[in-house]
Structure 1
């Protein structure tokens, strides 16, 4: 070893000595698990620090880790090790690969091939466990090992041996299960392994019993084998999970279709998983993982949704699952599949899809009736009745980003049904969505927008006074205002989130001045932009929101009554909307003007427009809507209730525009005492002297 000088060199030598010392301790036998975990943790820390120090030009400690040292770490990935040891060994392996770079990848490749060549049961177990553990860490490297010529084809004879090793079979299937995450590996597993996987799943129990009592004098076993000739129930379950992952991958376009069709359908597999869920709690992880893939199929999710007992078992499994665990993610994935609605397609998208179908000689596309909105709504109802919401609320508190996204997706689908919204709010969905929106990083824009839209839907249909007993109303405003502007990253412009957010804010703005002030401070610029929307429903919704916001004198004065050019423009826009073709838009704008005309500056702004007085009187003349006539009469009365120049100008303009005739006509058309009274007061003010 080259001489090392200086303080930095001494530190480097110290780190190398620490590394070698830790390996010496890890190679010792008979240690307690907590000691092993502690040493693995220290080694992981050294290797993580090493990666940063190496960038500064310091020697890497990875250079002292030879094949024997690496063998020590990788053997702690063995399934026969305690879970906590395996978990820390996985972190340590990840840190090593980061520090060692290409040399580390080469050493792992050599380790894997060496173990496979030895061919003992023990070596197979370790090799398969290592491949399964490092697949998520270095998928490209592991895929290369996995797709080595002859490797997958050698697994069939191994799994078909007369004398079984359950641990070898389990390790092999766990490796295949993990590898199926990668499309190329999944296709290879389907090509080379699907036949013997089906043999395992379809094993006849009667044959297994006969095998127990048969004697084979020529039988030879290896160390670690079990003197049995059938596959264990757990191995069958694992094989079923792998098959479930292969079914969607194979599809109808298998490039190399087999002569015989699959003997085990996805429906058969789902029934096995459901049975496991109810009868075999010990293997709940396998059943949940299998169902997470099986429920991609519409028929499977429909059958599962009809099974109340299984749904409740799934909810219980999720309730007891540790936060951020594979079991949590798998159970959430099932509920996402059960409740997911089909995406809304534009007419252009539908036409393109139709053309593609004809180009593929498939003819007219037939929508799956099990995926239509009515069927999905019924599944959502059944999932809700199984008690999913409180469990989601609990998991949301400690959930990962991935789990939070799935939870949001489920609540979003449940909120599509108006009848469920009140109950969702009662069970904590509003707090859940506000908390999830705040917890997700800003880069998770899609999930945050989904959370905000689900929140909007619930708040449209519920009484804020009942919802916000423990959570302040102001907490909902930022999520809601965040989706007023359409998603800039979406392929098509979707105004539904905008519309629903405006309705929810309108509901909140009906409560108190503090909430109105918070809405204006947080989202006014985006709200005002929607005044110019070409979509009638959006423009109506935004004016209805403004109508509620200006019930606060402070906000009304700030936005419309300060005499500024911007305030004058806003008055002009609202006045124009009071003359819109859509009746609801006219009604909302009339309501806003009925509140705003209490301010001199607003009346001056209305009268400054050539048709200002005429638009107000047109509300009074409306033939069909009593509410519009009422609003018009109130606006007229407000306009001529001011003093001085404003009164004179208003009276003059209204009389010139036919105010007396309009109000007289309004009185004759109206049947409600409240409206007639408002008209009489307006006429008296118009005809009287100030």
Structure 2
């Protein structure tokens, strides 16, 4: 078909390679508006991600087209990486990070080699511009390819040259800032962190401790005519640079290196000292830190509390996120009311999924974190290690005990953190949501605040978090479920849920059920989540909500039944208390009364629990039997069960009034049962000296309702009739 006169001929569809080259050509040319650059970087990221998926190695298949990375030579890679420069707009730099990540994934070994060549070449050139770009690229790629970037960072001679570079008389503040960004990112790697401590700690101390006014005075004394000199001319560090250096020092202080690296660090600081000298003076080998973690914490706290310093807030939050790993810092921060109020305020105004949000949440996690509960075996191993280290006993910082942590949790809760956490949970990333759940989990340990947590929306938060967290975040999901269980144990479910359509009472069952079995990922079995889950389900089943009981029976019954015979007495007691509530529903009654072999076995277990050692277990089992014996099928099964009647009469001989009451009620239900089941029960109870047992029980009892039910049962037995003896 001919093209009409004046019409534009259709544009041929570009290949992926040509499209890539066109984008790179525009990026190389520069001079674009920021939004145009962002658009090109975004399109290049999309092409690289698609290319990565197409060329993923698979069994017996090969990609039909070459990778677009094959057209990206060293100049193209240089152009892409140049957009990581700190002098680029923040939005452009952020998109360049995504493009770089996509390229390194798609290009594989070639991408790693190109990144290495770029970094080493720039460092080798040694101009300020080259240093800035090399440092910015390293800072950006540490989170993307940490192992590769760490190898470049630890290249021979690289770190050793940083100190002299930063101490130059004529320095570039941008080089200094870029270097600090790189060191800050490098601290995520333990080997790099130890290297920074060895080669850069002294310089970082100088930066942090520098008094700007003192520097200015000294400079003016040397050159009185330089009144208009800039801070760079005077070799004065900016406050932003000092703050960033303080953050790096906090990371070094909060995460101390291994013993081996301390030896390396000490030998590196000895300089010209001979080996024999260092061996003869081992105590002087390690130079003590000038700035302590407490000093850094105080600095960050002052930064945060300054109302006019919005730029310092990210540094103060990041620094405190690491400083608060130390028990003394946690204690000081928690008792600083102004700090807590400002931290909660900062979190409330932070953007979702931002570093500021994650840092603030990390501080709150550190302030509220309890020490993990150790099993007996773990305690013994810990003690053996303590003896091996010549400590002689287990030494735990007293600020980490439950009493101190509980007080810190109370202070954090009183600062009004719960509504802010609820607000952030709606838009949080999985990582931030995990931190939010951990904070609520710690706060829920304190029984007295559980009701207030529920009032402030913690139940809704935990339910939403459990459903929102992916399956891969199993630890956070279990934490959310256990925190939910604790709150529901101590609150009235009817008030908590209040007829909510979005979160009905039954919506809590699945999360609670998820922690009923032991954690498959744990090395040791922790029965506390199981116990708390059973207790919470018991509280839910105690309400008048028939749907909740049915849902528990339908979804959780096999797990509940398994816990009835648990070796742990508290778990077994909690399980039988739950059963006591569940059998109030027709579906629960049917599990014991349908005459099947399974029903008879269940009843056998319940009768055995009525004779258990634990009084609470016996009481719960008695309550369940009191409900079940209203059904003739259950009465018949008890009579037919070997020693079934003896176990029931045994409850009537209990010392506790409540237990005698339940026992008397079971006997009453059995003797007044209609038909053959009632006749069999009356006969068997008489044969087992039931009259005498009941008379003795009546004499022992002081409460009117107990005496009344026992006497009613006695009346039926003494009448001697074979029919119903109801009263």
Q: Do the two structures share a fold, i.e. TM-score over 0.5?
A: yes
- Mapped to 2, the partners of 1:188 and 1:604 lie a distance apart of 78
Contact 1:639–1:647 under 8 Å retained in 2: yes
Which residue of 189, 203, 218 corresponds with 1:196?
203
- Mapped to 2, the partners of 1:382 and 1:24 lie a distance apart of 58
Where does 1:29-108 land on structure 2 (aligned, <5 Å)? 29-55=30-56, 56-108=63-115
Aligned residues: 675
Change (3 A) 1:174 1:549: same
Aligned to 2:476: 447
Which residue of 307, 332, 348 corresponds with 2:336?
307
Instruction: For residues 96-129 of structure 1, give each alpha carbon's deviation from its aligned partner in whole angstroms, at most 9, with x where no partner exists.
Output: 1122222221111111112112222222111111
Aligned to 2:263: 255
Aligned to 1:435: 464
Runs of 4+ in 1 over 6 A off after TM superposition: 10-13
- Mapped to 1, the partners of 2:137 and 2:215 lie a distance apart of 31
Aligned to 1:422: 451
Gaps of 5+ in 2: 1-10, 57-62, 267-284
Aligned to 1:120: 127
Where does 1:418-497 land on structure 2 (aligned, <5 Å)? 418-469=447-498, 470=500, 471-497=503-529
Q: What is the CA-CA distance between 1:211 and the residue it aligns to?
A: 5.0
Which residue of 369, 392, 405 corresponds with 1:340?
369
Change (3 A) 1:225 1:17: farther
- Mapped to 2, the partners of 1:104 and 1:547 lie a distance apart of 65
Contact 1:315–1:386 under 8 Å retained in 2: yes
Aligned to 1:647: 678
Once the two structures are overlaid, the 10-residue window that deviates more, 75-84 or 12-21, is 12-21
Contact 1:277–1:313 under 8 Å retained in 2: yes
Which residue of 105, 129, 137 corresponds with 2:136?
129
Contact 1:506–1:544 under 8 Å retained in 2: yes
Contact 2:139–2:181 under 8 Å retained in 1: yes
Where does 1:486-565 land on structure 2 (aligned, <5 Å)? 486-511=518-543, 512-557=545-590, 559-565=591-597
Which residue of 623, 631, 640 corresponds with 1:608?
640
Where does 1:556-575 land on structure 2 (aligned, <5 Å)? 556-557=589-590, 559-575=591-607
- Mapped to 1, the partners of 2:286 and 2:609 lie a distance apart of 68
- Mapped to 2, the partners of 1:654 and 1:146 lie a distance apart of 85
- Pair 1:270-2:333 in alignment: no
Q: What is the CA-CA distance between 1:450 and the residue it aligns to?
A: 1.1
Which residue of 705, 708, 713 corresponds with 1:682?
713
Once the two structures are overlaid, the 10-residue window that deviates more, 68-77 or 208-217, is 208-217
Q: What is the CA-CA distance between 1:638 and the residue it aligns to?
A: 0.6
Q: What is the CA-CA distance between 1:216 and the residue it aligns to?
A: 6.3
Change (3 A) 1:162 1:115: same
Q: What is the CA-CA distance between 1:169 and the residue it aligns to?
A: 1.1
- Mapped to 2, the partners of 1:70 and 1:100 lie a distance apart of 11
Q: Aligned to 1:163, what secondary structure does the other structure show?
A: coil
Once the two structures are overlaid, the 10-residue window that deviates more, 511-520 or 206-215, is 206-215
Gaps of 5+ in 1: 1-9
Contact 1:173–1:239 under 8 Å retained in 2: yes
Aligned to 2:6: none
Q: What is the CA-CA distance between 1:181 and the residue it aligns to?
A: 0.1
Aligned to 1:6: none
Contact 1:77–1:133 under 8 Å retained in 2: yes
- Mapped to 2, the partners of 1:396 and 1:200 lie a distance apart of 38
Q: Aligned to 2:87, what secondary structure does the other structure show?
A: coil
Aligned to 1:111: 118
Instruction: For residues 159-212 of structure 1, give each alpha carbon's deviation from its aligned partner in whole angstroms, at most 9, with x where no partner exists.
Output: 112233221111111110001001111111111111100111111233222256
Q: Aligned to 2:255, what secondary structure does the other structure show?
A: helix
- Pair 1:241-2:241 in alignment: no
Instruction: For residues 285-331 of structure 1, give each alpha carbon's deviation from its aligned partner in whole angstroms, at most 9, with x where no partner exists.
Output: 11111111111110011000110111111111211222121111111
Instruction: For residues 462-488 of structure 1, give each alpha carbon's deviation from its aligned partner in whole angstroms, at most 9, with x where no partner exists.
Output: 011110023200110001111111212
- Pair 1:392-2:421 in alignment: yes
- Pair 1:412-2:441 in alignment: yes
Q: What is the CA-CA distance between 1:44 and the residue it aligns to?
A: 1.0
- Mapped to 2, the partners of 1:391 and 1:114 lie a distance apart of 48
Aligned to 1:295: 324
If the length of structure 1 is used for normalisation, what is the TM-score? 0.95
Contact 2:216–2:234 under 8 Å retained in 1: no
Q: Aligned to 2:15, what secondary structure does the other structure show?
A: helix
- Mapped to 1, the partners of 2:447 and 2:30 lie a distance apart of 63
Which residue of 160, 163, 171 corresponds with 2:170?
163
- Mapped to 2, the partners of 1:102 and 1:349 lie a distance apart of 44
Contact 1:187–1:249 under 8 Å retained in 2: no
Contact 1:164–1:230 under 8 Å retained in 2: no
- Root-mean-square deviation (Å): 1.9
Change (3 A) 1:462 1:11: farther
Aligned to 2:237: 231
Q: What is the CA-CA distance between 1:225 and the residue it aligns to?
A: 10
- Mapped to 1, the partners of 2:717 and 2:174 lie a distance apart of 95
Contact 2:632–2:674 under 8 Å retained in 1: no
Aligned to 2:4: none
Contact 2:632–2:678 under 8 Å retained in 1: no
Q: What is the CA-CA distance between 1:51 and the residue it aligns to?
A: 2.2
Aligned to 1:24: 25
- Mapped to 2, the partners of 1:50 and 1:467 lie a distance apart of 51
Aligned to 2:282: none
Contact 2:231–2:237 under 8 Å retained in 1: no
Aligned to 1:182: 189
Change (3 A) 1:15 1:211: farther
Once the two structures are overlaid, the 10-residue window that deviates more, 517-526 or 197-206, is 197-206
Contact 1:211–1:229 under 8 Å retained in 2: no
Contact 2:622–2:659 under 8 Å retained in 1: yes
Change (3 A) 1:679 1:289: same
Q: What is the CA-CA distance between 1:214 and the residue it aligns to?
A: 5.6
- Mapped to 2, the partners of 1:72 and 1:367 lie a distance apart of 53
- Pair 1:329-2:329 in alignment: no
Q: What is the CA-CA distance between 1:215 and the residue it aligns to?
A: 6.1
Aligned to 1:367: 396
